[in-house]
C-alpha cells in the first residue's frame, strides 16, 4: 500500500478514533459473514471507513408506509360456516361496533401494533378494514366469533382482539410479515460484490483525466486498438458509431452494439474480439483485455448514473481505462478502494486554448463564420434559425430529438468549407459525440430545464461542468480553428458566464444505482398483489445505500409501468418494456408504446405491415414544423420497435424491414431540417390564417351581420379587437420562443405605421365605443 493511500485512509478514519473503546472492540473481533464494509458520510464532509453488521437496526431507515397499498379481501363467506354463532349466539352489531371502537382508542394497542410495524397510518387503515370485515362478514371464523361474543358479554378482555386484528393486518399488508426479507433484497450497500467475475481477477484501473479536447479519450482508444480484445463504453450512439468506424478503418475488426442495433463485421455473424457499445449494453461477464469507459463524470447522472457504476465495478477486463473530468478522480479512487484496486492517474491539458470574450454578440447582425449559438429550447432554435436566414445567412441546426443521421448530416454541412452554411444553431446536444469546426460558442441563454434528485423539473443556471463541456467545443484540435472563443448573446449574461467558468467543477461524491429485474422479481414473490410501480416504490423506500451511492430517479420507469399496468404481462416482460428509452413528452410515442404492449400481450407478432399501418407509412415530406416534429416521433417509434426486437426477437420479427424504412425516414427528416426556415414560415402562415379567421368572425359578430355603412363601422371596430388579439397572440409566441422581442418590436412599428391614421381618427374610436355600449345594453336586456 502506498504512503499516500495510508495517509488518506488515516485522515478519513480520524473522526472515528476518539471513541477508543468502540474502535478496540471492533478491531478485536473478526468480521462476521453478515457484516459489510461501508462508507458513511459525516457532517465534516469526510467519509469514514468502518464496519457495520448488515442486520443492524440502527442503520435502517423507517419504510415509507404511504407506499403500502392494502390488499382487498373477500368478505362473502368463512370456512367455518356459522359454527361460531351455533356455539355462542349471534353478535349484536351495535354492541360490536362499540367494542371495536374502544379497541381502536386504546393507546396500548396502538403502541403494540407500532412495535410490529404498524405505524399510525397503517394502524388506522388496518382497523378500518378489520372493522368492515367484522361487521359485514356474514359468518366470521369460529375463534374470532367466540372471542367477540365473550367480550360483548363481559366474559372477555378487549385486548384479546389484538391477535386477530394483527392477523387481518398482515393479510391486507403482506409486507409486514416479510419485512426482513424485503430489507435484505433491497440492501444496496456493497454493489462491488454483485460482480463475482470482476472480483475474481486483478484489474488495473487507469484514469485519463482532462478537459474537453485534451486527447484523453484518444490515448485510451489507442490502447484499446492495440489490445487483443476490448470493449468501448460510451454515453451516446454517435460515440459508439465513431469508435466502431475508427476501429474497422484501422484494421481492427469491431462490432457495434446499441440498444437498437447490432452490427457484426464477421461474415458468419460471429462476435469480434472488439466491440463498441452504449454503456447500458456492455457485458459484465465477457472477458476482455482492455475496457474503455468514456465520460465517467456521468456516474452521478440522476437517471443514467447506474450504468457507469455497473461498468466501473463489473467489467471483466485486465485494464480499465476511465476517461473524464478531473473532478471524478478522488471518487473513482474511493470506489476502487472497495474492490481493492488502485488507480493510476494520467492527466492531460487542453490541446487548443479558448478564451472568454469581453463583449456579448447582442445582435444577429454581428455573427461571423464558425459561430455556434447554443440554446436550451427547441423553440429558440426555430426562432433564431429563421432570423438568421432572414439576414441572408445559411445555418445548420442540431438538437437532441433529431435522428443520428440527421445530426451527422447537419454537422457535415456546417463543417464543409465549400458549403455556404457557416452558422450553427444547436442545443447542448453538441456537448458530446460530434466533431464540429466551431470558432466561437455563443450562449443564447444560461438557464436550462433540469430534473432534480426528487424527479422535479425546474429551471436552473447551467453548472460549471455543463458550461465547460459546451464551451470546449470551440477551437477543436482537429478543426481549422486552432483557438476558440466563448461569449453570450445578451450583455447581461456575459458576467454570469465568466463567473460560472471561473469556478472549479464540483467534485463527484456519489454514484447511481438501480434495482435489477432479479431484485424486483424477488420482491414480487413476497408481494404478489403489488403493481410493478408499487414494487419499485417500496424497493427504493426500503433500500439501504452507503454515503457513496444513491438510487437513480425512477419516475420514467414508473410512468411506463403505470401506463401498461392494465395489460396482462408477466413480470419480466413488464419490467423490460418499462426500461425502454422513450420520450414520455411525445404523445404519439406513448400511444405506440401502449399499442406495442397490448399486441405483445395477445401473443400476436408485431409485423412490418402492422407497424406500417400504425405509423401510416409511407410518409410525406414535412410541410411545417408540426409535421417535422411528428416525423421525429415516428422515428422514435421505429427506434422503440428495434429496441424491443433485440429483447423479444420472436414477437418483433421484421427488424431488417423496419430499419430500411427508418433510413428512408431519416432522409425525409434531413430534407425537412434543410428547409427548416420554410417550415417555420409555413407554421407562421398557419397561425396568421387562423388569427385572421378568428378576427373575421369577431368582425361579423361586432357588425351584427348587417350590411352597408354599419358593416364598415363594424369592420373598423373589428380591426381594433384584432389588434388586441394580435397583441395577446404575440405575447404567447414570445413566451413560447416562436417570436423574439426584437422581431415583435419591428412588427409593432409596422402595425402602427400602417394603421396610424385609423388609430388617430376619433370617429373610429367613438364608433367602436358606441358599438361596445350597444352590446352592453343588449346583454342587460337579456338578463
CA 417 centroid distance within chain = 37
| 3-state helix/strand/coil string of 470-514 | HHCCECCCCCCCCCEEEEECCCCHHHHHHHHHHCCCCCCCCEEEC
Q: At what angle do helices 142-152 and 162-172 cross, to 10 degrees?
A: 140
Taking residues 308-332, report their average pLDDT.
96
- Summarised one tens digit per residue, pLDDT across range 228-273 is 999 999 999 999 999 999 999 999 999 999 999 999 998 777 889 9
Cβ atoms of 716 and 767 closer than 8 Å: yes
- Summarised one tens digit per residue, pLDDT across range 62-109 is 777 778 888 777 654 445 556 655 566 778 888 888 889 999 998 988
pLDDT bin (cut points 50, 70, 90) of residue 377 is confident
Taking residues 710-718, report their average pLDDT.
36
What is the pairing mode between strands 274-278 and 35-41?
unpaired
pLDDT at 783 over 70: no
DSSP-derived letter for residue 566 is T
Q: How far apart are CA 375 and CA 372, in angstroms?
A: 10
DSSP H helices, 252-393, are 305-314, 329-339, 378-390
pTM (two decimals): 0.76
pLDDT at 771 over 50: no
Please tell me which residue, 718 or 771, carries the higher pLDDT value: 771
Cβ atoms of 376 and 447 closer than 8 Å: yes
Please tell me which residue, 60 or 447, carries the higher pLDDT value: 447
CB burial of 53-68 (b: ≥16 within 10 Å; e: otherwise) equals ebeeeeeeeebebebb
Instruction: Give the dihedral sign, CA 267/272/274/277.
Output: positive
Please tell me which residue, 659 or 15, carries the higher pLDDT value: 659
Please tell me which residue, 143 or 39, carries the higher pLDDT value: 143
Cβ atoms of 303 and 271 closer than 8 Å: no
pLDDT recorded at residue 597: 97
Joined together, the cell numbers standing for residue 425 give 444553431
Residue 549 forms beta bridges with which residues?
Answer: 511
Cβ atoms of 316 and 197 closer than 8 Å: yes
pLDDT at 115 over 90: no
DSSP string, 596-651: HHHHHHTT----HHHHHHHHTSS-PPPSSHHHHHHHHHHHHHHHHHHHHHTTSTTT
pLDDT at 776 over 60: no
- pLDDT averaged over the chain? 80
A 10 A CB-CB count for 132 gives 12
pLDDT recorded at residue 135: 87
Q: How far apart are CA 474 and CA 466, in angstroms?
A: 14
Q: How far apart are CA 367 and CA 423, in angstroms?
A: 8
Joined together, the cell numbers standing for residue 195 give 460482480
pLDDT at 486 over 90: yes
Taking residues 268-297, report their average pLDDT.
94
Classify 737 in phi/psi space as left (phi over 0), alpha (psi -120 to 50) or beta.
Answer: left
Q: How far apart are CA 418 and CA 517, in angstroms?
A: 52
pLDDT bin (cut points 50, 70, 90) of residue 641 is very high
Residue 35 forms beta bridges with which residues?
Answer: 53
pLDDT recorded at residue 455: 56
* Closest C-alpha among 477, 466, 491 to residue 374: 466
Q: How far apart are CA 690 and CA 709, in angstroms?
A: 27
- Summarised one tens digit per residue, pLDDT across range 149-204 is 888 888 888 888 999 999 999 888 888 888 889 999 999 999 999 999 999 999 99
Joined together, the cell numbers standing for residue 705 give 351581420
pLDDT at 16 over 90: no
Please tell me which residue, 641 or 84, carries the higher pLDDT value: 641
- Between 27-36, 123-132, 553-562, 736-745, the lowest mean confidence (pLDDT) is in 27-36
Q: How far apart are the first and last CA of the chain?
A: 92
What is the pairing mode between strands 447-451 and 457-461?
antiparallel
Give residue for cell 474480439.
273
What is the pairing mode between strands 47-53 and 35-41?
antiparallel
Joined together, the cell numbers standing for residue 504 give 472549479
pLDDT at 713 over 50: no
A 10 A CB-CB count for 116 gives 14
Q: 407: buried, middle or exposed (CB in 10 Å: 19+, 13-18, 0-12)?
A: buried
Instruction: Give the dihedral sign, CA 13/14/15/19.
Output: positive
Cβ atoms of 553 and 455 closer than 8 Å: yes
Taking residues 215-228, report their average pLDDT.
95
Length of the chain measured in residues:
783
Percent of the chain scored above 70 by pLDDT?
Answer: 76
- Between 18-22, 492-496, 675-679, 773-777, the lowest mean confidence (pLDDT) is in 18-22
Give residue for cell 430529438.
401
pLDDT bin (cut points 50, 70, 90) of residue 675 is confident
pLDDT recorded at residue 752: 59
* Closest C-alpha among 468, 544, 639 to residue 179: 544
pLDDT bin (cut points 50, 70, 90) of residue 773 is very low
pLDDT recorded at residue 274: 97
DSSP-derived letter for residue 455 is S
What is the pairing mode between strands 371-374 and 423-426?
parallel
Residue 536 CB contacts under 8 Å (≥ 6 apart), including other chains: 515, 520, 554, 557, 558, 561
pLDDT at 760 over 50: no
- Summarised one tens digit per residue, pLDDT across range 499-530 is 999 998 999 999 999 998 999 999 999 998 89
pLDDT bin (cut points 50, 70, 90) of residue 118 is confident
pLDDT recorded at residue 457: 67
Please tell me which residue, 449 or 10, carries the higher pLDDT value: 449
What is the pairing mode between strands 395-398 and 423-426?
parallel
Residue 395 CB contacts under 8 Å (≥ 6 apart), including other chains: 385, 388, 389, 421, 423, 424, 425
Q: How far apart are CA 308 and CA 294, in angstroms?
A: 9
Q: How far apart are CA 269 and CA 255, in angstroms?
A: 10
Please tell me which residue, 453 or 772, carries the higher pLDDT value: 453
Q: How far apart are CA 182 and CA 262, in angstroms?
A: 37
pLDDT at 15 over 80: no
Taking residues 588-612, report their average pLDDT.
96
Q: How far apart are CA 325 and CA 329, in angstroms?
A: 8
Amino acid at each position: 500500500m502506498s504512503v499516500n493511500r495510508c495517509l488518506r485512509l488515516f485522515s478519513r478514519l480520524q473522526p472515528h478514533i476518539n471513541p477508543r473503546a468502540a474502535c478496540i472492540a471492533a478491531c478485536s473481533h473478526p468480521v462476521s459473514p453478515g457484516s459489510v464494509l461501508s462508507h458513511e458520510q459525516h457532517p465534516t464532509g469526510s467519509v469514514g471507513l468502518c464496519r457495520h453488521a448488515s442486520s443492524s437496526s440502527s442503520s435502517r431507515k423507517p419504510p415509507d408506509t404511504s407506499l403500502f397499498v392494502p390488499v382487498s379481501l373477500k368478505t362473502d363467506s368463512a370456512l367455518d360456516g356459522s359454527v361460531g354463532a351455533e356455539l355462542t349466539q349471534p353478535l349484536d352489531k351495535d354492541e360490536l361496533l362499540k367494542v371495536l371502537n374502544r379497541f381502536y382508542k386504546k393507546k396500548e394497542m396502538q403502541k403494540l401494533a407500532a412495535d410490529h410495524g404498524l405505524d399510525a397510518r397503517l394502524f388506522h387503515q388496518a382497523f378500518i378494514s378489520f372493522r368492515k370485515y367484522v361487521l359485514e362478514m356474514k359468518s366470521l371464523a369460529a375463534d374470532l366469533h367466540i372471542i367477540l361474543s365473550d367480550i360483548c358479554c363481559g366474559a372477555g378482555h378487549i385486548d384479546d382482539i389484538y391477535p386477530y386484528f394483527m392477523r387481518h393486518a398482515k393479510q391486507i399488508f403482506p409486507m409486514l410479515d416479510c419485512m426482513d426479507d424485503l430489507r435484505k433484497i433491497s440492501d444496496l450497500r456493497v454493489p462491488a460484490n454483485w460482480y463475482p467475475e470482476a472480483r475474481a481477477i486483478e484489474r488495473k484501473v487507469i484514469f485519463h483525466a482532462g478537459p474537453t479536447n485534451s486527447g484523453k479519450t484518444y490515448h485510451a482508444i489507442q490502447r484499446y486498438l492495440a489490445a487483443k480484445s476490448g470493449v468501448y463504453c460510451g454515453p451516446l450512439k454517435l460515440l459508439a458509431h465513431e469508435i466502431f468506424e475508427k476501429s474497422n478503418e484501422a484494421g481492427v475488426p469491431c462490432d457495434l452494439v446499441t440498444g437498437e442495433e447490432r452490427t457484426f463485421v464477421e461474415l458468419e455473424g460471429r462476435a469480434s474480439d472488439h466491440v463498441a457499445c452504449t454503456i447500458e449494453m456492455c457485458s459484465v461477464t465477457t472477458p476482455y483485455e482492455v475496457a474503455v469507459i468514456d465520460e465517467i463524470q456521468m456516474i452521478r447522472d440522476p437517471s443514467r448514473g447506474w450504468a457507469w457504476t455497473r461498468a466501473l465495478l463489473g467489467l471483466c477486463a485486465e485494464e480499465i481505462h476511465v476517461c473524464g473530468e478531473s473532478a471524478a478522480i478522488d471518487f473513482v479512487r474511493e470506489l476502487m478502494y472497495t474492490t481493492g484496486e488502485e488507480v493510476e492517474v494520467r492527466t492531460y491539458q487542453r490541446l487548443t486554448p479558448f478564451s472568454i470574450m469581453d463583449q456579448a454578440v447582442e445582435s444577429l447582425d454581428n455573427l461571423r463564420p464558425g459561430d455556434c449559438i447554443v440554446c436550451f429550447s427547441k423553440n429558440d432554435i426555430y426562432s433564431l434559425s429563421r432570423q438568421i436566414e432572414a439576414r441572408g445567412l445559411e445555418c445548420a441546426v442540431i438538437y437532441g430529438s433529431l435522428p443520428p443521421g440527421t445530426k451527422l448530416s447537419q454537422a457535415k454541412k456546417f463543417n464543409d468549407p465549400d458549403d455556404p452554411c457557416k452558422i450553427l444553431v444547436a442545443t447542448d446536444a453538441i456537448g458530446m459525440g460530434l466533431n464540429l469546426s466551431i470558432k466561437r460558442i455563443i450562449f443564447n441563454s444560461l438557464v436550462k430545464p433540469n430534473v432534480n434528485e426528487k424527479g422535479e423539473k425546474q429551471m436552473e443556471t447551467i453548472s460549471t461542468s455543463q458550461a465547460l463541456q459546451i464551451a470546449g467545443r470551440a477551437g477543436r484540435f482537429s478543426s481549422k480553428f486552432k483557438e476558440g472563443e466563448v461569449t453570450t448573446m445578451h450583455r447581461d449574461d456575459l458576467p454570469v458566464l465568466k463567473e460560472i467558468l471561473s469556478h472549479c467543477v464540483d467534485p463527484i461524491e456519489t454514484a447511481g444505482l438501480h434495482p435489477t429485474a432479479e431484485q424486483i422479481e424477488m420482491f414480487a414473490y413476497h408481494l404478489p398483489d403489488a403493481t410493478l410501480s408499487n414494487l419499485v416504490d417500496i424497493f427504493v423506500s426500503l433500500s439501504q445505500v452507503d454515503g457513496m451511492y444513491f438510487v437513480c430517479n425512477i419516475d420514467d420507469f414508473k410512468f411506463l409501468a403505470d401506463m401498461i399496468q392494465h395489460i396482462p404481462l408477466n413480470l419480466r416482460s413488464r419490467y423490460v418494456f418499462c426500461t425502454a428509452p422513450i420520450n414520455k413528452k411525445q404523445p404519439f410515442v406513448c400511444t405506440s408504446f401502449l399499442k406495442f404492449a397490448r399486441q405483445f400481450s395477445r401473443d400476436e407478432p408485431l409485423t412490418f405491415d402492422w407497424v406500417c399501418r400504425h405509423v401510416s407509412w409511407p410518409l410525406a415530406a414535412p410541410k411545417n414544423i408540426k409535421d417535422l416534429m411528428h416525423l421525429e416521433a415516428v422515428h422514435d417509434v421505429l427506434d422503440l420497435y428495434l429496441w424491443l426486437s433485440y429483447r423479444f426477437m420472436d414477437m418483433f420479427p421484421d427488424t431488417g424491414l423496419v430499419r430500411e424504412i427508418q433510413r428512408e425516414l431519416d432522409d425525409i427528416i434531413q430534407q425537412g431540417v434543410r428547409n427548416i426556415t420554410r417550415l417555420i414560415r409555413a407554421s407562421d402562415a398557419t397561425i396568421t390564417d387562423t388569427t385572421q379567421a378568428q378576427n373575421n368572425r369577431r368582425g361579423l359578430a361586432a357588425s351584427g351581420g348587417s350590411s352597408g355603412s354599419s358593416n364598415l363601422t363594424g369592420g373598423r371596430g373589428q380591426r381594433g379587437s384584432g389588434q388586441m388579439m394580435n397583441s395577446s397572440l404575440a405575447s404567447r409566441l414570445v413566451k413560447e420562443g416562436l417570436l423574439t422581442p426584437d422581431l415583435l418590436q419591428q412588427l409593432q412599428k409596422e402595425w402602427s405605421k400602417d394603421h396610424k391614421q385609423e388609430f388617430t381618427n376619433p370617429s373610429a374610436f367613438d364608433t367602436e365605443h358606441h358599438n361596445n355600449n350597444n352590446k352592453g345594453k343588449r346583454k342587460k336586456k337579456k338578463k
